[in-house]
Amino acid sequence: MTLRGKVAVVTGGSRGIGRTVASVLAREGVALTLCARDRVALEKVASELEASGAQVLAVKADVTQAVEVNQMIESCLERFGSVNILVNNAGITRDNLLLRMKDDEWEAVLNVNLKGVFHCTRAVLRPMLKQREGCIVNLTSVVGVMGNPGQANYAAAKAGIIGLTKATAKEVASRGITVNAVAPGFVETDMTYALDPEHQERIRSQIPLGRFGTPEEVAELVVFLASGRAAYITGQVIHINGGLWM
Ligand SMILES: NC(=O)c1ccc[n+]([C@@H]2O[C@H](COP(=O)([O-])OP(=O)(O)OC[C@H]3O[C@@H](n4cnc5c(N)ncnc54)[C@H](OP(=O)(O)O)[C@@H]3O)[C@@H](O)[C@H]2O)c1
């Protein structure tokens, strides 16, 4: 049931939820491969984690690029010999009302948030199938189930992740691989702070627990799903949203 000695890939590990997931996994003794596009920010996180005793491989990779993703997984296998956990966390927003939404806003969000999950999942499946063991955790969003004005692209991508999670879970369950999605509400990260303060206040007022979530709260759930303690959970969407959506 222990995570010690496992190997995890966390996409978008340089800030916010991904960075916090990386530090919780490191604390549990997991070796990490982290990716993001900003090499400097990523290497800073890697150095901090290494200073606390973790083994970290920082790879500058864009999840929209299948070649970069495949190379990242190859490097992870070369360095650590296996990949047991994939956390598909990298994500972006490009908000606009649908009537005004530009093609590039639609495509950017679908490419990072949905195609990126496809690329990374496909890349880890072969080694996980061979090992007959693995856990994949995908970051979806409350917006993927309840919608949000100005976020049709983001809602579509996050709803897509839910279908992708369930289909993949059914394909690989017989080989001991679990695939689940975590659906946070609004969390204290750059993504939420990019919303204007009035919008933030309006959302906060609709949350029964009266506050945004913390990256730590989301990370603890992700790490639980990535551990043997959640071995009988697969194909599920686990909500963590302060009661915003029930
Ligand atoms: N914050 C929330 O309230 C909230 C709520 C529900 C769901 N989520 C989901 O949780 C995940 C993390 O959100 P967050 O708030 O922590 O976001 P964040 O603080 O904006 O961090 C996003 C991370 O993804 C990386 N990234 C973005 N595009 C990438 C790409 N093409 N390839 C590789 N890495 C990329 C970023 O690094 P670079 O920019 O350097 O690439 C960064 O490390 C996302 O999937 C988000 O949709 C967040």
Written as tens digits, the pLDDT of the chain (246 aa) is: 589 999 999 999 999 999 999 999 999 999 999 999 999 999 999 999 999 999 999 999 999 999 999 999 999 999 999 999 999 999 999 999 999 999 999 999 999 999 999 999 999 999 999 999 999 999 999 999 999 999 999 999 999 999 999 999 999 999 999 999 999 999 999 999 998 899 899 999 999 999 999 999 999 999 999 999 999 999 999 999 999 999
Q: What confidence score (pLDDT) does residue 2 get?
A: 84
Atom of ligand 1 nearest to the CA of 213: 3
CB of 73 shorter than 6 A to ligand 1? no
Q: Identify the sign of the CA torsion 16, 18, 19, 21.
A: positive
Counting ligand 1 atoms within 8 A of each CB, the residue from 45, 92, 207 with the most, and so the one to mutate, is 92
What are the tokens at 219? 């990370």
Quote the pLDDT of residue 128: 98
Task: Give me the pLDDT at residue 1, please.
Answer: 57
- Annotated catalytic residues are 154
Name, in order, each residue with C-beta under 8 angstroms of 198's C-beta and a sequence gap of 6 or more. none
Domains plus CATH for the chain?
7-239 (3.40.50.720)
What's the CA gap between 194 and 80, in Å, rounded?
36
Residue with tokens 């679990």: 178
Q: Which residue has the tokens 């800030």?
A: 15
* pLDDT at 113 (0 to 100): 98
Spatial neighbors of 137 by CB under 8 A, at least 6 apart, are 85, 86, 87, 88, 180, 181, 182, 222, 225, 226
Q: What is the 36 CA–ligand 1 centroid distance (Å)?
A: 9
Residue 101's pLDDT is what? 98
Count how many residues are written for the chain. 246
Which residue, by CA, sits nearest to atom 32 of ligand 1? 62
